[in-house]
Chain A
Amino acid sequence: MEYEGVISKKVGKVAFGVLSPTIIKKMASAKIVTPELYDKEGYPVDGGLMDIRLGVIDPGLRCKTCGGKIKECVGHFGYIALARPVVHLKFVPTLLRVLRGTCRECSRVLLPQADIKKAQEEMEAGFLDGGVEGKRDALHTIKKRIKNSGKCPHCKAVQMKVMIEKPTSFTENEKRINPIELRARLEKIPDDDCEVLGLSAKAVRPEWLVLTVLPIPPVPMRPSITLETGERSEDDLTHKLGDIVRINQRLFENINAGAPEIIIEDLWDLLQYHVTTFFDNSVPQLPPARHRSGQPLKTLTERIKSKQGRIRHNLAGKRTNFSARTVISPDPMINLNEVGVPSIIAMKLTVPERVTPWNTEYLRAFVERGPKKYPGANYVVRPDGKKKKITDETQEQLLEELQPGYVVERHLLEGDIAIFNRQPSLHRMSMMCHRVRVLPYKTLRLNPAVCHPYNADFDGDEMNLHIPQTEEARAEAEILMEVSTQLISPRYGLNVIGCIQDAISGNYLLTRSLSYSFEDAVQLLARVGIEDFSRLPRKKEVSGKEVFSALLPPDFNFTGAARKGEAVIIRGGKLTEGVMDRQNLGEGSGLMFRNFHRRYGAQQTLELIGNIFRLGNFVLLDHGFSTAISDTDLPQEAKEQIQHILEEAHREVEELIVLFRQDKLEILPGRTRRETLELKVLETLNKARNSTGKVVSDSTHRETATHVMAISGSRGNFLNLAQMAACVGQQAMRGRRIDRGYVDRTLSAFGRDDLTPAARGFIRSGFKGGMNPSEFFFGSMTGRDSLMDTALRTPKSGYLYRRLANAMQDLRVEYDGTVRDAAGKIIQLVYGEDGIDVSKSEKGVLDVKKIIAEVIE
């Protein structure tokens, strides 16, 4: 039996070379002689460009060469015999090099015999030393040695400099070398000399670079489109080939009729033009061939090149089936490694399951339910590979035949493996493997704790879901891509998945000051999903810390610090001291989760993060948590204090300006007077803003939600709070105060050379109090500036990333611990000088302190 997924044959290597005229003719299944495409009935003409010997694109027709129908037959090449040879555009630089390097009389390479010998030896040595690359390097030095010294060292003929007339003609001594002469010269070059010129004798003969026959690409490669009107629209390549054939026929006729040389020359040039644009329609010196509508044709080069070209679009990147995409929304009640899939999607995406004697009944039930009832099936695949859709008509028949060897494509079930992805996929955590959880409604659901690695939020983000179809793929996804395996970032060796937002606020409040009655605590934990309450002390009143500790295993120890630096101590699975905030609960900081991971493994860490997350959410739900504008209200004295600070700062700046005007300002080394002033002013104003921040953080009410969020680090900071309550502060562009706009002033509302804070973008008001027009304008200026910055940065960093990825994608660790590239060249003897995998390390290091402490204890 043929198993899918088994690779029985593998491509070993790809060799490059140039097709010789003989091979072109040999591999062609038809000679194209007429530019006509179809006859009156719309049937492809024999010897035309759509000849059915080149493959078929019409349903119902069969290929004359292989007998295949549409989609079965990949097509076959044809050829045109060119009436006169033409130069291949892409080999023009090579031809030029060869012409300049060989004698015009005897076609030997312009090196004395002894040097040729030496060059050959060097190439041989280079090849033995470094393979193809070694040879390439050797050639590089040899190429430089071939010089036109005016006389051929072999036949002593006088040499002339060959010039190129772009794009495709060569001249010598102001006289054009036509392709026939050119070809004649190239034919005479001996094989050995070709090697010295850098043409591999086994891959190419120089005369092949001048075309006498042109291969015609298969029809399926350039299919025509039938428009709604029934009209046929041919592919760009077909159009171009039509031109070539037409001109070629005319040239033939004219030659045969003995037309004057000038007419033949003209046609020849035209043929050269058409062949050239067939290869590349964006040659700088040539007008591009166009459609009747004036739009340039897309010919071979354009098909291959650039992001939308064959290589990057179809070869390096592929399309997939069995995938889904919709809007995402959060659901903290599902696990971190789960993904909520709407039932509508679960009924479209399928998993193939092979029928065996042991699961026939199980799978039969799916087929019975069919495609319309939820855990059903959409297709049945017979052992011969025929895929049958399950419909009301086919259902009975299929149920009857169903037997071991068949494959049933059943609906997604809970627990199936899926790969979840959000673009831009910047790191490997952008594609992780989740378990399917079929849920109602129409969005994909994910636990908000995994937002960070995906960089997802819920303001309309969409994400993709892929269902692996083979056992191997599922196994790899499960073992290598599962969320639990991606907990620790390979970038910095700390957890990338952690609590965010409400979860942090909730846990902060809980561990700081809340307490519950025993019953309420049990309720809380039960909602989180805890079933074992034995970790909760049997007391009437349970503190928040004790509730939190109930989530930890009884033998977990941890000593760390909270955001403000106060100690956090967990001893014997009990949080005895400190509060939980972003430092320990969030991603990319703090070692609590990292240590837990080391001790208890990925699965338990994942569960712990999920539990802590839910706990935080439910605490907030009970406690109530809401921000209001009144959060930024300040007591009268604080307001006065802020006014005072700002006035003081303004006065200081005023003094500085006076000093500056009187030329008494002490100049900082290496700065101009003006720069010194700017620096000092900036410093003064920033200091003032910071001290207002201090006042605000001291005087706003400690229990307000805004304050709690800023302290716990779940969202916002005191600077934001101060900006709302008191003073937005200096608007800076490029690290300077705003100094552009009108002549010597920023806005026409100010006088010339006004250096006061207000005239240079200092926003004295807070967001709540409201800004005056000039302040608002300055705010918009910096806002626009930062938008521009982002817009410019994204493509730049994207390109850098692409280059890095492309340059380094082949580097891997070998079994001997070295890092090598694709060719086996050693890049590092030991990865990272110590062989430590960052994603297995703790913040990039092996923590010996902990080991010592553990052993000594």
Chain B
Amino acid sequence: MKLPSDLRKEYAQRLPESVIKSLEEELPDKIAQAKVEKILQRTVEEYERMLVEAGECVGLVAAESIGEPGTQMTLDTFHFAGVSEMNVTVGLPRIIEILDAKKNITTPMMEIYLKEPYSKGKDIRQKALAIKETRLGEIVKKFVINPMELRMDITLDTERLTELEMSPADLKKGLKQAFKQFNVEAEGDLVVIKGGRGKADLKDLYRVKEKLRQAFIKGVKGVKQVLPIKKGEEFIIVTAGTNLRTVLALDFVDMTRTISNDIHEVAEVLGIEAARQVIMNEVLKVIDTQGLNVDARHIMLVADTMCVLGAIKGITRYGVVQEKSSALARASFETPIRHLVRAAVIGEEDLLTSVVENVMLNQPVPVGTGLPKLVAK
């Protein structure tokens, strides 16, 4: 039942949006106004009882909540049902990778959601293939180098070509652009490459062969493998390798839901808030697949500490720890000498606002019961 707007307005101040939403979902349609009010009052009571207390060292609790089950996780990397190249890193290595904010993750992936007719399964294979990166090597039957005439005959796999909806002529155009120093000609399923402007010798031809094999033909760069799968009611395309920016620009892609698992890419394309969400989702995904139970709030806090600065900082000595204001706190983590020397040169002052320094000096720490200060006469 939708709450009456006056009640909603009143209680929006006192209850978080999520609670109000679940209330609206759960409230039966026929219910007396008085009872609704009573329910709301009870909810507020209950909510206020559940609030965190000031001084609670939520950071450490979050660290504990992720660190403790870490010992129970597996190291294995699993296969993803379907595609051979789609090994998905799960378990501890993946968590470490996310929290380190690694630039090159082991298994970059995208989940591409599609717009209406395609999400129902229409042309799903073609659409998937259209996204897949194709290199020349994949559509060629053989390369033949003719040393006498200094030319290379490339026999194309016509079946694959039609599958990709391409003709040798298209191919010729593309190749011409990519290899300007050569003459490219197409005859039937044969593409002939000759040294243009008389310069190329045999060596160049051999050298260019490997380059040709890697020549980008079609699709989205970086997408190594595609797999259409059914997720719930709709079809989506899962890819190995990511290129979010290009994929989002495709006309059949639902850009509101399509996402990559590379946090840096997401931060760059969609912004830091999206990256924060991806960090949360990815960590939660791992924890769930391991059958562990960790509340989302803890992961949220970790994601937030990684993202507060507007750029992703890993939980490493170069990331979050580097940003700490206290030299002693930094020194207590790793490379203590370096931090102390730097602090000395800059003439830093440590105001003892964080936990470790106060532990070092045998003083009460500024969290929990150490937070309130009393002034006595």
Residues of A near any B CB (own CB < 8 A): 7, 10-18, 90-91, 94, 131-133, 135-136, 139, 198-200, 202-204, 280, 301, 304-305, 309, 311-312, 315-316, 318, 424, 426-428, 476, 480, 490-494, 588, 668-672, 675, 734-735, 789, 792-794, 796-798, 800-801, 803-815, 817, 819, 821-828, 830-838, 840-841, 844-846, 848-849, 851-852, 854-856
- Report whether B61 and A490 are in contact in the complex, using a CB–CB cutoff of 8 Å: yes
Q: Answer whether residue B92 sits at the interface, using C-beta atoms and an 8 A cutoff.
A: yes
- Report whether A312 and B332 are in contact in the complex, using a CB–CB cutoff of 8 Å: yes
Residues of B within 8 A of A797 (CB): 67, 70-71, 73, 92
Assess A669 versus B344: contact at CB under 8 Å? Given A304-B337, A491-B295, A837-B53. no
Q: Answer whether residue B345 sits at the interface, using C-beta atoms and an 8 A cutoff.
A: yes
- Report whether B308 and A94 are in contact in the complex, using a CB–CB cutoff of 8 Å: no
- Report whether A426 and B295 are in contact in the complex, using a CB–CB cutoff of 8 Å: no
Residues of A within 8 A of B367 (CB): 810, 812
From B62, B67, B79, B345, A91 is in contact (CB under 8 Å) with B345
- Report whether A811 and B57 are in contact in the complex, using a CB–CB cutoff of 8 Å: yes
Q: Answer whether residue B85 sits at the interface, using C-beta atoms and an 8 A cutoff.
A: yes
Bound CA–CA A412/B58 (angstroms)? 34
Q: Answer whether residue B16 sits at the interface, using C-beta atoms and an 8 A cutoff.
A: yes
From A11, A424, A494, A837, B51 is in contact (CB under 8 Å) with A837
Mark B341-356 against chain A: 1 for CB-CB distance below 8 A, else 0: 1011111111111111
Q: Answer whether residue B296 sits at the interface, using C-beta atoms and an 8 A cutoff.
A: yes
Bound CA–CA A828/B59 (angstroms)? 11
Q: How far is the CB of B309 from chain A (nearest CB, A)?
A: 9
Bound CA–CA A315/B356 (angstroms)? 9
From A13, A476, A841, A844, B349 is in contact (CB under 8 Å) with A13
Q: Answer whether residue B225 sits at the interface, using C-beta atoms and an 8 A cutoff.
A: yes
- Report whether B18 and A834 are in contact in the complex, using a CB–CB cutoff of 8 Å: yes
Mark B26-61 against chain A: 1 for CB-CB distance below 8 A, else 0: 111001000100110011001101111111111111
A-B contacts, 24 of them at CB < 8 A, read: A12-B352, A14-B349, A15-B350, A90-B337, A198-B346, A200-B347, A491-B295, A492-B294, A672-B84, A734-B76, A793-B92, A797-B70, A803-B99, A804-B67, A804-B302, A809-B60, A809-B63, A812-B371, A819-B59, A827-B308, A832-B301, A852-B39, A854-B42, A855-B39
- Report whether B54 and A803 are in contact in the complex, using a CB–CB cutoff of 8 Å: no
From B35, B67, B85, A855 is in contact (CB under 8 Å) with B35
Residues of A within 8 A of B28 (CB): 852, 856
Q: How far is the CB of A309 from chain B (nearest CB, A)?
A: 7
Q: How far is the CB of B20 from chain A (nearest CB, A)?
A: 9
Q: Answer whether residue B360 sits at the interface, using C-beta atoms and an 8 A cutoff.
A: yes
- Report whether A831 and B297 are in contact in the complex, using a CB–CB cutoff of 8 Å: yes
- Report whether A132 and B51 are in contact in the complex, using a CB–CB cutoff of 8 Å: no
Assess A789 versus B360: contact at CB under 8 Å? Given A203-B344, A814-B54. no
Q: Answer whether residue B315 sits at the interface, using C-beta atoms and an 8 A cutoff.
A: yes
Residues of B within 8 A of A318 (CB): 359, 362
Q: How far is the CB of A472 from chain B (nearest CB, A)?
A: 9
Q: Answer whether residue B74 sits at the interface, using C-beta atoms and an 8 A cutoff.
A: yes
Bound CA–CA A735/B88 (angstroms)? 12
Q: How far is the CB of B323 from chain A (nearest CB, A)?
A: 8
Residues of B within 8 A of A811 (CB): 57-60, 62, 301, 305
- Report whether B329 and A822 are in contact in the complex, using a CB–CB cutoff of 8 Å: yes
From A13, A16, A810, B343 is in contact (CB under 8 Å) with A16
Q: Which residue of A lies closest to B82 (CB)?
A: A670
- In the complex, which of the residues B43, B64, B65, B294 has the most CB atoms of chain A within 10 Å of its own CB atom? B64
Q: Which residue of B lies closest to A18 (CB)?
A: B344
Q: Answer whether residue B298 sits at the interface, using C-beta atoms and an 8 A cutoff.
A: yes
- Report whether A309 and B347 are in contact in the complex, using a CB–CB cutoff of 8 Å: no
Residues of B within 8 A of A840 (CB): 49-51
Q: Which residue of B lies closest to A836 (CB)?
A: B50
Bound CA–CA A672/B63 (angstroms)? 42
Mark B127-155 against chain A: 1 for CB-CB distance below 8 A, else 0: 00000000000000000000000000000
- Report whether A856 and B302 are in contact in the complex, using a CB–CB cutoff of 8 Å: no
- Report whether A14 and B66 are in contact in the complex, using a CB–CB cutoff of 8 Å: no
Residues of B within 8 A of A735 (CB): 76, 78-79
Q: Which residue of B lies closest to A672 (CB)?
A: B84
From A491, A675, A789, A813, B298 is in contact (CB under 8 Å) with A491
Bound CA–CA A721/B340 (angstroms)? 60
- Report whether A90 and B35 are in contact in the complex, using a CB–CB cutoff of 8 Å: no
Bound CA–CA A792/B75 (angstroms)? 8
Bound CA–CA A808/B346 (angstroms)? 25
Q: How far is the CB of A480 from chain B (nearest CB, A)?
A: 7
- Report whether A305 and B336 are in contact in the complex, using a CB–CB cutoff of 8 Å: yes
Q: Which residue of B lies closest to A805 (CB)?
A: B63
Bound CA–CA A462/B37 (angstroms)? 55
Q: How far is the CB of A257 from chain B (nearest CB, A)?
A: 37
Bound CA–CA A4/B117 (angstroms)? 77
Q: Answer whether residue B217 sits at the interface, using C-beta atoms and an 8 A cutoff.
A: no
